[in-house]
Amino acid sequence: MKTISENASFGGTQGVYSHASTACNCEMTFGLFLPAEARDGPVPVLWYLSGLTCTHENAMNKAGAQTWAAEHGIAVVFPDTSPRGDDVADDEAYDLGKGAGFYVNATQDPWKPHFQMWDYIAEELPAFLGAHFALDMDRQGITGHSMGGHGALTLAMNLPGRFLSVSAFAPIANPTGSDWGRKQLTAYLGEDDAKWAKHDASLLMADVGFDGPVLIDQGAADQFLDLLKPEALAAALASKRQQGSFRMQPAYDHSYFFVSTFMEDHVAFHAEALYGG
């Protein structure tokens, strides 16, 4: 592991680290906020998965999560959104390739050699974090924005028992029915859409649901509503009678102004679950 930076933040430490990833076959970078309580022993951890075009830095610098995580004594991990490097496949479009890993394991060329983001987030990075930092890996929550909200929801429902709580900001809610999804799932997983279902939060919610509380915030003035398809997820939550809340927030768009506004609510929501509230 390489320490890129460590800065004092709200009594704790905001670090940025890199390591050689076996899953992605490249050097991967992540941010990790550790509250003051981590000096005395393992603390619960909240995952924040970012959206299209983002790196580990966007939420780390813009979401304001450290303020509220410090208040509740929770660590926050900010992974990257894709593999990186000169030999990593890319595309001219902003919504495919680097910065657009979609939290899946690619089975198609040229993506397959590096784009194994599901394994990286579900297996490799948790094991790495647990081995190197004072984190209680039995108490994990997960959240994310846009493509990261998609990743948070699909990981949470596909890994029962892993996460005690899940939330999302403006998630890509129904990628199998959206241009933010069909394009990427075809490229990464192939044209057999039967293989896409485990990566669609609305389909998963209607089928299996989540064994814990769910919180979704969606801006009513989001410029990407037609691509996000929040109505599909809202319907699935209702049909499954899922424990959770889906909130349409008037006037808010897709930006980090929206995310930072409701970050306090989301961290408090996860803290209640992580501390057995």
Long-range pairs, 188-191, Cβ under 8 A, ≥24: 188/102, 188/104, 188/106, 188/107, 188/108, 188/111, 188/115, 189/104, 189/106, 189/107, 189/108, 190/107, 190/108
Q: Is 167 in the active site?
A: no
Check 146, 165, 178, 202 and give the catalytic one: 146
Q: For strands 165-169 and 75-79, give the pairing.
A: unpaired
Alpha-carbon span 35 to 253, nearest angstrom:
30
**d(Cα 105, Cα 136) in Å, to the nearest integer?**
26
Give the contacts of 19 (CB within 8 A, at least 6 positions apart): 1, 2, 27, 28, 128
| Given the residues 165, 200, 222, 270, the one annotated as active site | 222
Contact 54, 40 (CB under 8 A): no
Place of tokens 């996860």: 270
What values do phi and psi take at 67, rounded to 5?
Answer: -55, -50
Count of positions (residues) in the chain: 277
Of 72, 145, 254, 270, the active-site residue reads: 254
Q: Is 222 annotated as catalytic?
A: yes
Q: Alpha carbon of 177 to those of 49, 97, 112, 230: distances in Å? A: 22, 20, 23, 11
Residue 95 falls in the annotated catalytic set = no
**Which residues are tagged catalytic?**
146, 222, 254
